[in-house]
Amino acid sequence: MKIRIPVLAFVLCFAVSGVLAQNKYIGTKMCGACHKQAKTGEAYTIWAKSPHANAFKTLQSEKANEIAKAKGLKVPAAEAAECLECHVTGGGTAENVDKTFKMEEGVTCEACHGAASGYKTLHSKPENKEKAVKAGLIRGDASKDTLCVTCHNEKSPTFKGFKMEEDWKKIAHQLPTKEKK
């Protein structure tokens, strides 16, 4: 029995990683088609007003290029892998992108929720939530800062600290609760 558990864990990890590897980044226009509305928490609208939506644009500034040069980078910030890894969903080098994905959109929904091609049609119906998760949907959770601190950390040359609870409120986009009739 002891040997079966590691084998089962390996098989499950392999199966999940296979599903995730097949998913493609589809971009914000696909997400925004539904997530602009109040009934979907206005997630697209909140994102569009956030610094995440302009993360790539910040790399196109003179200040960003000065920082890149000071760090010893040989290319402009908007072309440097070291900068793109946090300023673009998929790090700017992802090959699993659909034609609808645009690097210029910066840090998109899929940076937090996973490449969406596998779950985009599933996650809107409550009965499909678990299927959507199995198809690659990552649910946001303010109690876990692991995804956020991948980029919001001391490695960033402009890091000014990160307070998960406080910063989460700036991007929170919860679905409205349904009133009982």
Separation CA 88–CA 80 (nearest Å): 11
Instruction: Work out the number of other CB atoms within 10 angstroms of the CB of residue 85.
Output: 15
pLDDT tens-place string over residues 51-64: 999 999 999 999 99
pLDDT tens-place string over residues 163-172: 888 888 888 8
CA distances from 37 to 31, 41, 68, 110, 174 (A): 11, 7, 38, 18, 12
C-beta of residue 153 within 8 angstroms of C-beta of residue 163: no
pLDDT tens-place string over residues 12-69: 444 444 445 589 999 999 999 999 988 888 999 999 999 999 999 999 999 999 999 9
pLDDT of residue 159: 92
**Model-level pTM?**
0.80
Where do the structural domains in the chain lie, given as residue ranges?
26-171
Alpha-carbon torsion 93, 97, 29, 115, what sign?
negative
Please give the CATH number for the structural domain made up of 26-171.
1.10.1130.10
CA angle (106 as vertex; 100, 109 as ends), nearest 5 = 70
Separation CA 84–CA 147 (nearest Å): 16
Total residue count of the chain as it appears in this document: 181
For 172, the token pair is 């929170």
CA distances from 143 to 82, 88, 128, 130, 153 (A): 27, 24, 24, 20, 17
